[in-house]
Amino acid sequence: MDFFSLFFTGALLAGGLYWFVCILGPAEQKGKRATDLSGGSISAENVLDNYNNYWSFFRRPKEIETADKVPDFVDTFYNLVTDIYEWGWGQSFHFSPSIPGKSHRDATRLHEEMAVDLIEAKPGKKILDVGCGVGGPMRAIAAHSRANVVGITINEYQVNRAKLHNKKAGLDSLCEVLCGNFLKMPFSDNSFDGAYSIEATCHAPNLEEVYAEIFRVLKPGSLYVSYEWVTTDKYNSENEEHVEVIQGIERGDALPGLRSYVDISKTANKVGFEVVKEKDLAKPPAQPWWNRLKMGRVAYWRNHIVVTVLSALGIAPKGTVDVHEMLFHTAHHLTRGGESGIFTPMHMILCRKPNSSS
């Protein structure tokens, strides 16, 4: 092979890698490139050890039942996955029903705007985002309602990412983010005009505790809406395949245990909420929310090649490949849960805190 052939081949390979990493890698415009993948607040040399520690949590199931250990467990998970989520999924770490003729981005935005419409947020009102992640929903909701949104997340790295995105979007005057545990929120009683949580309270070891905290910080008469991850009436705990799917979702998403749909309104009522409406937003005529997971299998293998190459070159931390593979297997369990109808990530409950005079 002559010099020009070698040069051409090398240039082609380099161009191909650039295309995979810098153009095809980040879907849509997420602000995170493959070359920037990290372990969040975990130093690069400790990513693999933290990944192994994450899995060891499930080998000690009694610890999952210990509430004081869960925040660190969830924090570790989001350090490991936040960059990969942003790079491969977007800034909104949740699902939404597919809408014919609409892009995934538009469907996501409409799903988020529906939440804030349900709680009747108005310009100037103070709204709480419970488990805000990197703030994708927060920014959509603030832009749509012009309300002031305060988000809380357990993960410091996500706080920094959210603040960066808020500033880039020109919404930092409407969006505030802080690091904290939504089981013990640093807010005064009766201080918010509304609240929402989008697929976030599933991380709480005890749903009653987080609902009670939200109830406490809401003003009387205010509304709260949540999109909950739950098992449905089709789930059979004696069916081995059902159990395998649900446990796969729990392990791959840092969940101390999925709840049944029947537990949601009971818990809301127990802490004092009036349940205004409850509905599984994934049921027909909604289009399957798991379609994007199925369509993303080709993207997964493309991205997995990129992650593997970057890890081998020392650009991505050791352990990144393991985390990426874990998320792929989790996507498989989520798809099976959706197709079988035993699981939904969008069981919607709308609650009102009674007026003090009630």
228, 201 contact by CB (below 8 A)? yes
Question: In this model, does residue 273 exceed pLDDT 70?
Answer: yes
Question: Is residue 176 one of the residues assigned to a domain?
Answer: yes
Question: Is residue 18 one of the residues assigned to a domain?
Answer: no
What does the pLDDT average to over 58-66? 57
- Best-predicted range by mean pLDDT (50-54, 231-235, 284-288): 231-235
Which pTM does this prediction carry?
0.90
Question: Is residue 114 one of the residues assigned to a domain?
Answer: yes
Question: Is residue 5 one of the residues assigned to a domain?
Answer: no
CATH number at residue 232: 3.40.50.150
* 285-312 residue pLDDT tens: 889 999 888 877 777 888 888 889 899 8
Question: Is residue 10 one of the residues assigned to a domain?
Answer: no
Question: In this model, does residue 356 exceed pLDDT 80?
Answer: no
Question: In this model, does residue 14 exceed pLDDT 80?
Answer: no
282, 346 contact by CB (below 8 A)? yes
pLDDT at 64: 53
35, 22 contact by CB (below 8 A)? yes
Alpha carbon distance 170, 215 (integer Å): 31
Q: Work out how many domains the chain is built from and give that number.
A: 1
Q: Are strands 192-198 and 126-130 parallel, antiparallel or unpaired?
A: parallel
Question: Is residue 34 one of the residues assigned to a domain?
Answer: no
Helices (H), the chain: 3-18, 47-57, 61-64, 70-88, 104-118, 136-145, 156-168, 207-217, 240-252, 262-271, 291-295, 297-312, 320-340
For the chain, the helix, strand and coil percentages under 3-state DSSP, each to the nearest 5: 50, 15, 30
Alpha carbon distance 31, 203 (integer Å): 26
pLDDT at 24: 47
Of 17-31, 175-189, 254-268, where does mean pLDDT reach its minimum? 17-31
Domain that holds residue 198: 39-358
Question: In this model, does residue 357 exceed pLDDT 60?
Answer: no
Of 112, 90, 91, 201, nearest to 154 by C-alpha is 201
Question: Is residue 139 one of the residues assigned to a domain?
Answer: yes
Question: In this model, does residue 23 exceed pLDDT 60?
Answer: no
310, 279 contact by CB (below 8 A)? no
pLDDT at 12: 41
Question: Is residue 144 one of the residues assigned to a domain?
Answer: yes
Cis peptide before 285 (omega within 30 of 0): yes
